[in-house]
Chain A
């Protein structure tokens, strides 16, 4: 299944399938990106990050792809499990000069995994 983030905020997939969550970021000068997972009633939790000098990074069952040309970020979850059900946010680090930056969050995509 695939989500286009802002336009399809809910993604429903079958357990065992792969999930792809997409995110369009705003600032071409952003140099660091993070995917967060937020379960109901909890704070966002770090999943994986990627720096702008990379276009792909893999973790355990997750892969982040970065396309700087079109300012697009995606999170791929392999063999999606019920425990993956959550809201997923992409965040970009926008520098404010020097080393001072802050994380700007996208609007989030809700992932629902059907058993």
Chain B
């Protein structure tokens, strides 16, 4: 059984388009995250949601808007895509936010052309 699943796995789109990435976890966790991994493999947190409420919003352009319809889902919508948005986006979840491991999805490779 997949614990944290993201769709799609690959996404190729043109500049200026709007796209969404979906994430679901079946671990019963109350906290979900979005991370961005650049071409140098650097992983940076973007958003953190606890019980459907935003608790961390790192310096991310407001073109990125997370939506959490329930505790098991955290979707990422991106408006007006730019070339620099090309990266691998990882969803993760954890039980609580302090001193706990996060479980990661397989990633969504976004390529903006």
Which A residues are in CB contact (< 8 Å) with B90? Answer: 43-44
Q: A43-B90, A45-B104, A46-B103 are in contact. Are A100 and B43 (CB under 8 A)?
A: no
Which B residues are in CB contact (< 8 Å) with A95? Answer: 98
Q: A46-B101, A102-B45, A108-B41 are in contact. Are A96 and B56 (CB under 8 A)?
A: yes
CB pair A102 B97 closer than 8 Å: yes
Which A residues are in CB contact (< 8 Å) with B4? Answer: 43
Select one of B98, B102, B104 contacting A99, CB under 8 A. B98
Q: Is the interface of A mostly helix, strand, loop or mixed?
A: strand
Which A residues are in CB contact (< 8 Å) with B98? Answer: 32, 93, 95, 99-101
Interface residues of A in 25-77 (CB under 8 A from B): 31-32, 34, 36, 38, 41-46, 49, 51
How many A-B contacts are there with CB distance less than 8 Å? 63
Interface residues on A, range: 20 to 34
B77-111 interface bits toward A, Cβ cutoff 8 Å, 1 = contact, 0 = none: 00000000000001010001111111111110000
- For the complex, what is the distance from the CA of A49 to the CA of B33, rounded to whole Å? 19
A91-114 interface bits toward B, Cβ cutoff 8 Å, 1 = contact, 0 = none: 001011001111111011010000
Which B residues are in CB contact (< 8 Å) with A107? Answer: 40-42
CB pair A99 B107 closer than 8 Å: no
A8 CB to closest chain B CB, in angstroms?
Answer: 14
- For the complex, what is the distance from the CA of A104 to the CA of B48, rounded to whole Å? 12
- For the complex, what is the distance from the CA of A110 to the CA of B56, rounded to whole Å? 29
| A13 in contact (CB, < 8 A) | no
Could you list which residues of chain B lie within 8 angstroms of chain A, going by C-beta atoms?
A: 4, 33, 35, 40-45, 48, 50, 55-56, 90, 92, 96-107
Could you list which residues of chain A lie within 8 angstroms of chain B, going by C-beta atoms?
A: 31-32, 34, 36, 38, 41-46, 49, 51, 87, 89, 93, 95-96, 99-105, 107-108, 110
